[in-house]
Amino acid sequence: MKIDASKEKSVVVVIVEGDLDASNAPDLRAKFEELIGQGENQYVIDLSGVPFMDSSGIAALVNLFKRVRIGAGDVKLCGLQEEVKKVFELTRLNRVFDIFDTCAEAAASF
């Protein structure tokens, strides 16, 4: 799995590529931890390069969401592939996260 983060205006765009499961979800958590430590609280998570995600990936995203919402921040998701979208639908987390087709739309929604 590859993780890249860049800042566009006040929004941090995190691009994740590759399968996301319990073997590498801690890496994503560590990246989020680093960004939160830098005071970032507005995130777009680009999942267009993630063909597979399990509940460990969900847990990492929910953890980030809970933490940034305390400080009036937000987490928006974009580019979900069908298999990943299904996980959000089954867990009803599609009602919690704002999910966009494109990252441009997600970034513009802040």
Partner 1 sequence: MDIDNRLVIDSRLEEIARARDWLAERVSQAMLSRETVGDLKLALTEALSNVICHSYDSEPGHQIILSLFVDDKALTLTIRDFGRPFDASLYQMPDLDKLQEGGYGVFLIQSLMDQVRYDTSSGVGTTLTLVKQRDRQRSKKPGNYSASP
Beta strands in the chain (DSSP E): 2-8, 11-17, 42-49, 74-78, 98-100
Minimum CB separation from partner 1 for residue 72, in Å?
17
Cβ-based nearer residue to partner 1, 51 or 110:
51
Minimum CB separation from partner 1 for residue 63, in Å?
5
Cβ-based nearer residue to partner 1, 26 or 102:
26
Residue numbers at the binding site for partner 1 (CB under 8 A) = 19, 21-23, 52, 54-56, 58-59, 62-63, 65-66, 82-83, 86-87, 90-93, 96
Q: Quick one: CA dihedral 62, 106, 47, 39, positive or negative?
A: negative
